[in-house]
């Protein structure tokens, strides 16, 4: 009897605006297909954290030359955490999963991710992670720059007010005293920074499929995605 792999190993690129639920959805796709999941935003955050720790960012001012000088000494790796059922990021061997999500890192990561040499290094790392395929990678430039030949490219978007409301609910649930207007202006500012930076700005790849999840649940998104996956991989399975 012939053995067939029910899930052919392809590359799935998930790009889009911040706070659209990209990572949650990309992680769910990877779990469903038995693929590796890589959150590239975490990698830009890891470089930012290291730069803060090493004094290359002071009082919110990023010294680009100093950040570039640190790149040779940073190692980033992901290790599966069975308790979370997801991978944690390590910077030079130290667990950094929680520290990369602080507001201090969030405030500086746009500036760090705009440095061309930072992008060059991280893109090369991401390309080597995808060498054996069977990967879902989420970010801003995956379908345009990292894997322009990805078999499936998703471009996720949602109404800014819906995105702000989701983040507001999340932060409030954690006990953070934030206002909705503050969150909405942060979402709009990040959209502006991501789409207007000189190097690899966020844009939809010509062959990406738009997923506007303003009024969709994760289950509805998954159902939609599995239809697309079947359609795109059917030729390879016949
Ligand atoms: O997905 P995130 O919000 O954790 O990403 C953090 C920052 O990194 C965000 O400001 C955009 C940037 N980023 C990027 O420039 N390219 C990527 N591939 C992923 C993230």
When pLDDT is cut at 50, 70 and 90, the band that residue 238 belongs to is very low
Instruction: Locate the ligand 1 atom nearest the alpha carbon of residue 18 and give its number.
Output: 3
Q: For position 1, what pLDDT does the model report?
A: 55
Q: Determine what percent of the chain is predicted with pLDDT higher than 70.
A: 96
CA of 42 to the centre of ligand 1 (A): 7
88-122: burial string, b at 16+ Cβ within 10 Å, e else = bbbbeeeebbebbeeeebeebbbbbbbbeebbebb
When pLDDT is cut at 50, 70 and 90, the band that residue 200 belongs to is confident
Q: For position 2, what pLDDT does the model report?
A: 52
Q: Taken in order 49, 55, 60, 65, is the CA torsion positive or negative?
A: negative
Number of Cβ within a 10 Å radius of residue 49: 26
Six token digits for residue 223: 């159902």
85 vs 166, more confident: 166
Q: What is the mean pLDDT of the chain?
A: 92
Given the structure tokens 């060498």, which residue do they identify? 131
CA of 174 to the centre of ligand 1 (A): 22
Q: For position 3, what pLDDT does the model report?
A: 55
For residue 15, is pLDDT > 70? yes
Domain-wise residue ranges, the chain: 11-231
Residue 7 · residue 107 · CB < 8 Å: no
Tell me the mean pLDDT in the region 208-236.
92
CA of 14 to the centre of ligand 1 (A): 12
For residue 47, what are the contacts with CB-CB under 8 A and spacing of at least 6?
Answer: 67, 70, 71, 74, 76, 112, 118, 122
CATH superfamily of 11-231: P-loop containing nucleotide triphosphate hydrolases (3.40.50.300)
N- to C-terminal Cα separation, the chain: 15
Q: Is 153 left (phi over 0), alpha (psi -120 to 50) or beta?
A: beta
Q: Ligand 1, atom 2: nearest CA belongs to which residue?
A: 41
pTM metric for this prediction: 0.91
Q: Ligand 1, atom 6: nearest CA belongs to which residue?
A: 41
Name all residues whose Cβ lies below 6 A of ligand 1: 18, 40-41, 44-45, 109-110, 113, 139-141, 190, 194
For residue 181, is pLDDT > 60? yes
Nearest to 42, CA basis, from 23, 66, 14: 23
When pLDDT is cut at 50, 70 and 90, the band that residue 6 belongs to is low
For residue 122, is pLDDT > 90? yes
């Amino acid at each position: 009897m012939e053995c067939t792999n029910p899930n052919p190993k392809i590359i799935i690129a998930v790009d889009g605006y911040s706070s659209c639920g990209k990572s949650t959805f990309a992680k769910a796709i990877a779990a469903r297909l038995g693929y590796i999941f890589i959150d590239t935003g975490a990698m830009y955050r890891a470089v930012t954290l290291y730069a803060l720790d090493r004094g290359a960012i002071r009082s919110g001012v990023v010294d680009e030359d100093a950040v570039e000088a640190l790149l040779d000494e940073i190692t980033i790796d992901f290790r599966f955490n069975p308790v979370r059922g997801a991978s944690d990021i390590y910077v030079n061997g130290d667990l950094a999963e929680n520290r990369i999500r602080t507001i201090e890192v969030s405030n500086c990561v746009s500036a760090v991710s705009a440095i061309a040499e930072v992008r060059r290094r991280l893109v090369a790392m991401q390309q080597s992670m995808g060498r054996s395929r069977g990967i879902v990678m989420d970010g801003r430039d995956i379908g345009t720059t990292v894997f322009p030949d990805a078999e499936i490219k998703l471009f996720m978007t949602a109404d800014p007010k819906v995105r702000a409301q989701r983040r507001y609910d999340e932060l409030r649930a954690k006990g953070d005293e934030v206002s909705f207007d503050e969150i909405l202006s942060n979402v709009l500012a990040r959209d502006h920074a991501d789409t207007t930076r000189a190097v690899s700005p966020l844009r939809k790849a010509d062959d990406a499929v738009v997923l506007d999840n303003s009024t969709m649940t994760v289950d509805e998104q998954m159902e939609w995605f599995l239809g697309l996956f079947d359609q795109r991989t059917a030729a390879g399975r016949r």
